[in-house]
Structures are given as structure tokens and as C-alpha cells.
Chains A and B, each alone.
Chain A
Amino acid sequence: MSPKVRIKTLKIDGRDIGAREDETILQVARENGIQIPTLCHLDGLEPIGACRLCMVEVRGSSRLLPACVTRVEEGMEVTTKSPRLIRHRRMILELLFAERNHVCSVCVVNGKCELQSLAVALGMTQVRTPYRFPRFELDASHPRFVNDHNRCVLCARCVRVCDEIEGAHTWDIMGRGVNGRVITDLNEPWGESNSCTGCGKCVHVCPTGALSEKGTLREDAGKQRDFLPYLTLMREVRR
């Protein structure tokens, strides 16, 4: 780490906090035990600010800011919880539940799903938005893994881990808007992918049951993500 990094002081939810200038609001908040909900963010991956669950209020700014990609600034006053933020976060979750076919009771990661946990944590008790019920095929062509688009939230964690950590760039997103979906190679079946190394990192970073290991269910299907910060740390030390 460069010794030139400056220290900034700011307030989060009324608490005075010190932070390095290269840190994001989310990092600093978590270091200080302040919880901000996130979905697309994962420690160790490049943040993209896509799910918009981490939006916070910053005094003096009429716009809400995504905590995962917003750097701290001197004198910033951040509010992480307000009626408006809570309303918006619940609504984003509702939109996600309604977008595809999230039927928890028959999902491999039921009880271990980040989307589900967020709904519980944020008190999203019902989905008022009509379900869209799109039709998606399941890709079980890979010998060890399954890709079920019905559970995908398009967080692009798989895309990023495969590109940034594994260096294979097997995953991508094809199509625009609600028609977007994750693909392997040039939209070929996963089992036929030439670039996939079979490392399974994508499965473990997937927040839902979209990517899973064959033959696992519920408790066994739990995902291990500790490898990521560990790998990143190793790389930083080497640098």
C-alpha cells in the first residue's frame, strides 16, 4: 500500500469515523459494524454498483449514492437507513423476486440464498409487483455444475470472478434489459465450453441457486466464499 494515502474523517449514521481516502463508504461502514445491504458486491471482486441496494443518503446531495462504489470524502455525512432508503430497498427486492422464477421452496439453496436472506433482513414480506414468469431453459450440460436462469439476478459476480480471478472469462451477459442472461463462451452449452476450467468459483460466488453443484441440496449447497478475500490478499502481498 502506498504510504501517501491520506486519512479522511466522516460521519456515518451520526458516528465519527476515520477512513483511508481510497476506501468506499461500504468498506468503512462494515469495518465499523454498520450494515448496508448489498447483492452485486462481493469482497475481492471489482465493484460495479449494479443492484442499487446499497444506496445511501449523503448530506448536501439530492441524489442517493451507491455505497459500494462511492469513495469517502472529508466531512461527508452519510445516512444508511431512512424511511426512503428502506422503501426503495424493499422495492428493488420485490422487482428482483418478480423478475424471474424464484420459487424458494424448490430451490437448491433454500435457506442459504442471499436474495432470500436480504428479503428477511429488509422486512420484505410480500411482492406487490406482478410476477413476470419468463420461460428459461436449464443448462445441465456441464458434468459437475448446473446453470438455472430462473434463479439468476444478473449480478454478474460469475462474470467477474471468472474474468478477474480465474482469468478464463468464460461467462458474459448476452442481450439487453430484461432479456439479458448469462452465457458461457459464445452462448454455447456450459459443458461444451472450451475456456471453462471447471474451477467452480462462479458457483461459489453466485448469490442464489442460479449456479449450483450437481448432487447437492440445501445444507450441502452452501457456498464458500472465503477463498476470494484470501486470494486477493495473497495477490496484494506479492505485488
Chain B
Amino acid sequence: MPIERVLAMASAQVEAESKFEHHIHVCVASGCLSSGSDRVLQALRDEVKGRGLENKVLVKGVGCLGLCAAAPLIAVFPEGTYYQAVKPEDAPEIIDSLGKAPIERLHCPTDRPFFQKQNKIVLENSGYIDPLRIEEYVARGGYQALIEVLTEMSPNAVIEQITLSGLRGRGGGGYPTGLKWTTVAKSPGTLKYIICNADEGDPGAFMDRSVLESDPHRVLEGMAIAAYAVGATRGYVYCRAEYPVAIDRLDKAIKQAKKTGLLGPNVLSTPFSFDVEVRLGAGAFVCGEETALIASIEGKQGRPRHRPPYPAESGLFGYPTLINNVETFANIAPIIRNGGAWFAEIGTRGSHGTKVFALAGKVQYTGLIEVPMGTTLHEIVYEMGGGIPDNRPCKAIQTGGPSGGCIPARFIDLPVDYESLREKGSMMGSGGMIVMDDTSDMVDVARFFMEFCVGESCGKCVPCRVGTAQMNDLLTKIIDGKATKHDIVHLEELCELLRDTSLCGLGQSAPNPVVSTLTHFRQEYLDRLVETDEEAAS
């Protein structure tokens, strides 16, 4: 029986791991890999082998340990000691110190708020399991939720739990996931698709990459549960080609899951069948928009189309399609395991659960954090992020990438949830968070995002195609000190035009960085204006 086989796999893995006295986890997610963590991993393995300690010390590559700024990171268990900026030459010293006092020189204290204030649901396995081994995922309770769903729950009961949890889409829009699943489940037809959106194009965002690199099976499990709930039989993960490590691990995870009978025909010997394929995006930001993404999988140009019909009704190849973000799917298994009510307890009234953020910019500790919804900006920036370097004042916090806005530092006590961010003219987006100090030039920031939109506009609709280019030119004119007050009026008119008339979210939200900086930092614009002829004459 495949179910027993999976459970046996889990206990065998737990037993195998318990035989080692020491466990050394080396982060092999992209951030640390780029600092040479693969060489550190090799050096540690060689050292262990050289000393004949293979049966006492387990050295393995794991997913993201979080504090990417201190890469390469390793963690030593059972002590739970973290070492930062580790070099291959440090291997002997690290092996020497096992079971003794930590090495001061490399020590990365984990009693800081950066680690302590996190609440890991999506990232619960990150840094603990080897993403390339299904055994380790299963040993930490992986695929238990799928087994439970397939053997004990009706599709409706699954959707009920997701609805009860209050989970909202983590791809940016914040659409209630339970409601989306219901619409797809209710759409008539026997052929339905599941799509996992792993296009993650926001500049500076790497939450989804990290989840896929650290714990790919979690996403597959979420997709399989969704497929069962809505009656789908085929799934795609649409991942940008710039994520080779994530794609490789995902591919391997799919193969392992198929071999174990967790994907493919008659999953775990039940009537439920579900197959998953990876499709690569060619690096267009707009292909993260759901209708463009679907066109791209169909082999057409990645351009958004008018909705309705929504994908839930007519999606991939015209069939009902459920499309969710990586992080949304990563939340599914824990919700099923612990119940929707458990999830609904975490966070704020309108935003439940946690959110993963890529904390970047002018803070001491940058990296990946997962915090409960409703955590304040102050907690994130000053406690977890360790404040601004050189004790400079914080000026603004940018969230939501090119679709979001800059929240001025006077709102530092703002709780981070969907509604609060929107109220202040920004948005949750997919989880990028850039902290700016007083040296940041807000007009420049607005132009940075506008330039991004000019390059990424698909060009289908006129306001976005030409409007973003004109706004970018206007911002440049302001920065160059050649603009007058008329240009500001024109800029604001364009903001309104794009918001009101663009075809898709890219154009509709492209003005947000400009609008938010014009609202909160207007003086910076005004200071750069020159007089009009009439003003000069009077």
C-alpha cells in the first residue's frame, strides 16, 4: 500500500537522522550559493570523511536560513548555533568545535529579533530539510495533509477549511483563496487545470524562489490538494527561467513524488489522478499577470486579455483553471494539517496567517522573514531589521514593488496587512520591502519603478504603453530641473488616466509609486521645478 510506504519512508528517515550526534546544515539556496556555499558544503563533507566521522556527523545542504546578508550561513544542531560568512577554510575549525563552545569569530547570534520574531509556517522546513530528498519532507510531516484529504475528506470539506482559514492570495491581489477554489470547483467540466504562479518578477523580490528552492514538495502538495478540491487533473508550475536552481529542484521533486505515487495516475492508489509539469517563463514581468501567463503556457504571446471571463471559468486552453501563487500553495498543507480555525487565529481580522517578506535596503539585517500579518513596520525595520545603519533616520518604506508605494516613516507603527497598506497608498504586493533612509531621493525612486514599467509594459493597450513612457520622460525632466508646475499637473493627469483605463494590473498600478511619493513627499518634486514664463514675468 502506497500510504504505508510513505509512512514507512518517514519513520525510516527519522530513525536514520537520529543516529547522528551532530547535524550541520549548509544553506544551498541561491543567496548563499552565490557566496560559495556549495564549496563550504564540500569542504565540510571532506573534513568529516577525512576524520572518519561519517557515522557521527551529518552534513547536508538545506534551504534558506533567512539572514541572506550574512551568507554563506550554516547551522549546527543539536545546539542550534548559526555561523555566518563561512569559508571552506573554516571547515576544520567547525568540526573541531562540535559539542564545544561556538566559534566566536563566525558566530551569528540567533537570539536577535530577526530570528525570534518570525513565525514560520510557509518556511517551516526551510533550513531544516534537504530540498532534494522527499524522505526528509515526509519525515517532517510532509504529504500527511494530502493523505488525510484523499482518504478522509470530501472536496467540499477541503474548500471549507481553506475558506475558514481566511487565506488570501499571496501573489499581490489578496483575493480570498477559498472563494477562488469554490468558483473553480463549481465551474462545469471534467477537464480542469491548476497553475502555480512562480513568475515572481518584482524587482528585489525572492520569496517564491526561496520557497521553491528550500521546500519544493510543499508547493506540489498544496497543488495536489487544490486539484482534489476543485476537480482538476493537470497542473503547471510557471516559473521564470532566471531561477535555474528552483527549476532543477522542482523537476527533481516532481520525479520523486511520481515515483512515490504522490503524483501521477491514481495518487496513493485512490481514484484521484494529478500530473504536474514545469513551464518556463522568458522573463517578462507581465507574464505574472494571470491571463498573460495562461497565453504564454498556450504558446501565445504573453499579453493580458480582458476579464471576464476569469480563468476560473475559462482559463488554460479554455478550461476552468485555478491559478494561485507559490506562497499561497505553500500555506495549504499546514492549514489542512492544523485546521482552518488555527490559521484564522494568526494575524489580523482581515488578513490571516503570515507573510514572507524580502527585507532589503537600508537596514542592518537584510534577508527573508516570515511574520504574522499585522506585525508593525516598526517591529520589522527597527527590531528585526536591526534599524538603519549609521543611525540615520528612516525616511520611507517601499512595499509592493512597481505596483506599490512609499510609506513615509511617520506611519512606522502601521500594521502590515492588506487593508492598512492600501489605505496608505501602497499594497502588500508579493512581499518586497525596501527600507529607505534620509539619503534616498523620492523622485528618483518613483522614476526607478516607472522605468521598470516602461520596459515591462506589453504594449497592448495605449495608456500603459505610451503613458508609462511619457511619465518616465516627465520624471526625468523633473529630476533634470527642467520641469514647471504644468508638468506636475500633466503627470497627475497621466496617473489618473493609467489607473482608470489600463487593461491590466500593470498599467493600472504603474502610477502608484508616483502617486504615493507625490502625496507624501510632494516638496521634493516642487523643489526641483523651474518657473514658467508667466511666473518669471510677474
Interface residues of A (CB under 8 A from B): 48-53, 55, 63-64, 66, 69-71, 84, 87-88, 91-92, 95-96, 98-99, 128-130, 132, 153-154, 156, 172-173, 175-180
Contacts and interface: CB of A to CB of B under 8 A. Distances in A.
B460 A48 contact: yes
Contacts of A128: 490
A98 B501 contact: no
28 contacts: A50-B461, A50-B503, A52-B502, A64-B501, A66-B306, A66-B503, A88-B497, A88-B501, A91-B497, A95-B470, A96-B466, A98-B466, A128-B490, A129-B470, A129-B490, A154-B459, A154-B462, A172-B301, A173-B301, A176-B286, A177-B454, A177-B457, A177-B458, A177-B459, A177-B469, A178-B459, A178-B466, A178-B469
Interface of B: 284, 286, 301, 305-306, 308, 454-463, 465-470, 473, 490, 493-494, 496-497, 500-503
Nearest to A155: B462
Nearest to A175: B459
B460 A50 contact: yes
A180 B301 contact: no
A52 B462 contact: yes
A180 B462 CA distance: 12
Contacts of B473: 130
Given A48-B305, A50-B462, A51-B461, A95 B467 contact: yes
Contacts of B467: 95
B20 to A, nearest CB: 52
A92 B469 contact: no
A176 B457 contact: yes
Contacts of A91: 493-494, 497
Nearest to B285: A176
A158 to B, nearest CB: 15
B470 A98 contact: yes
A99 to B, nearest CB: 5
Contacts of B284: 176
Given A88-B500, A92-B501, A128-B490, A177 B456 contact: yes
Contacts of A154: 459-460, 462, 465
B470 A49 contact: no
B186 to A, nearest CB: 19
A84 B457 CA distance: 24
Contacts of A99: 465-466, 469
Given A92-B462, A173-B301, A177-B456, A52 B469 contact: no
Contacts of B308: 71
Contact of B466 (A49, A84, A95, A175): A95
A132 B501 CA distance: 21
Contacts of B460: 48, 50, 154, 156
B410 to A, nearest CB: 28
Contact of B501 (A55, A71, A178): A55
Contacts of A180: 459, 465
A179 B490 CA distance: 23
Nearest 9 pairs of A and B residues by beta carbon = A180-B459, A95-B466, A177-B457, A49-B306, A69-B306, A52-B501, A177-B459, A99-B466, A178-B469
B455 A177 contact: yes
Given A95-B462, A177-B459, A52 B503 contact: yes
Nearest to A63: B500
B470 A64 contact: no
Given A50-B461, A52-B463, A176 B305 contact: no
Nearest to B458: A176
Nearest to A55: B501
A90 B465 CA distance: 16
Given A52-B462, A99-B465, 9 more contacts: A91-B497, A92-B501, A95-B467, A96-B466, A128-B490, A176-B459, A177-B465, A178-B466, A179-B459
A156 B305 CA distance: 14
Contacts of A64: 500-501
Contact of A177 (B463, B468, B501, B503): B468
A96 B306 CA distance: 21
Contacts of B465: 99, 154, 177-178, 180
Contacts of B466: 95-96, 98-99, 178
B463 A95 contact: yes
A64 B499 CA distance: 10
A69 B496 CA distance: 22
Contacts of A153: 462
B500 A55 contact: yes
A223 B467 CA distance: 29
A70 B500 CA distance: 16
A73 to B, nearest CB: 11
Contacts of B468: 177
A39 B346 CA distance: 50
Contacts of A95: 462-463, 466-467, 470
B159 to A, nearest CB: 27
A153 B493 CA distance: 22
A5 to B, nearest CB: 17
A224 B500 CA distance: 34
Nearest to A130: B473
Contacts of B462: 50-53, 92, 95-96, 153-154
B455 A176 contact: yes
B503 A178 contact: no
Nearest to A65: B306
B430 to A, nearest CB: 21
A95 B490 CA distance: 12
B102 to A, nearest CB: 51
A178 B500 contact: no
Nearest to B284: A176
Contacts of A179: 459
A64 B497 CA distance: 11
Which of A55, A91, A98 has the most B CB atoms < 10 Å from its CB?
A: A91
Contacts of B305: 48-49
